[in-house]
C-alpha cells in the first residue's frame, strides 16, 4: 500500500468511524485483494514451492468459482443452475476422458492456460492484468502444471 492510499484510508476511518455503533472498518489487512471466493484462501502446508503455493491462491481467488468441485445432490429449484459452469462444461466436453476439474488435470500446457485466461473461450471471458497479474498468471500455470514437474 502506498502512502497516498494509506492516508486516504486513515482519513476515512477517522471520518466514518466516529459514531459509537458496532462496525467493521477497513484496515491494512481487511482488503488483501478482491477475489471471487466465498471463503477466501487458507494455506496448504504440504506445498513447498512458493510459486505453486501462490498459484493455488490465485486458483481459489479467480478460478474456483467456475472450475471448482460441487455437490451433485442439490435440490431442484425454479431456477436450478449448475453451480460450477466451468467444471460442468468440461464434463460435457470430455465425457470423462480427462478430469473435468482443472486441478486434477496433468495434461495442461502452460501456453494453453495463458491463452485461455487472457483470451477467454466460448462464454468464458478473458481476464485483465488488474484481475490476474502477469506474475499471478505464471504462478497459476505453475500450480496447474505442478504434477508434470514431479
Interface ranges with other proteins (CB under 8 A): 2, 4-5, 8-9, 12-13, 15-19, 21-26, 30-31, 33-40, 65-66, 70-71, 73-86, 88-89, 92, 118-120, 122-131
Q: Which is nearer to other proteins, 96 or 122 (CB)?
A: 122
- How far is CA 138 from each of CA 3, 59, 106, 112, rounded to the nearest angstrom? 28, 12, 17, 12
Q: How far apart (Å, rounded) are the C-alpha atoms in residues 32 and 20? A: 26
Residue 102 CB, nearest approach to other proteins (Å):
14
Residue 99 CB, nearest approach to other proteins (Å):
18
Burial of 64 (0-12, 13-18, 19+ CB in 10 A): buried
Q: Which is nearer to other proteins, 8 or 112 (CB)?
A: 8
Virtual torsion, Cα 24, 25, 28, 29, nearest 10 deg:
10
Q: Which is nearer to other proteins, 19 or 97 (CB)?
A: 19
DSSP readout, 96-150? TSS-SSGGG-S---HHHHHHHHHH-BTTBPP--TTTS-HHHHHHHHHHHTGGGG-
Q: Which is nearer to other proteins, 112 or 147 (CB)?
A: 112
Residue 147 CB, nearest approach to other proteins (Å):
25
Q: Which is nearer to other proteins, 4 or 150 (CB)?
A: 4
Residue 116 CB, nearest approach to other proteins (Å):
12
Residue 1 CB, nearest approach to other proteins (Å):
8
Amino acid at each position: 500500500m502506498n502512502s497516498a492510499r494509506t492516508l486516504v484510508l486513515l482519513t476515512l476511518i477517522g471520518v466514518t468511524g466516529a459514531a459509537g455503533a458496532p462496525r467493521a472498518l477497513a484496515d491494512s489487512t481487511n482488503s488483501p485483494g478482491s477475489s471471487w471466493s466465498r471463503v477466501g484462501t487458507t494455506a496448504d502446508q504440504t506445498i513447498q514451492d512458493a510459486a505453486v503455493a501462490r498459484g493455488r491462491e490465485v486458483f481459489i481467488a479467480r478460478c474456483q468459482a467456475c472450475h471448482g468441485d460441487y455437490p451433485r445432490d442439490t435440490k431442484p429449484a425454479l431456477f436450478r443452475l449448475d453451480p460450477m459452469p466451468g467444471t460442468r462444461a468440461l464434463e460435457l466436453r470430455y465425457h470423462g476422458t480427462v478430469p473435468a476439474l482443472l486441478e486434477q488435470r496433468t495434461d495442461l500446457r502452460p501456453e494453453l492456460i495463458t491463452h485461455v485466461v487472457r483470451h477467454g473461450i466460448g462464454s468464458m471471458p478473458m481476464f485483465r492484468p488488474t484481475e490476474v497479474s502477469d506474475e499471478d498468471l505464471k504462478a497459476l500455470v505453475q500450480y496447474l502444471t505442478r504434477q508434470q514437474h514431479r
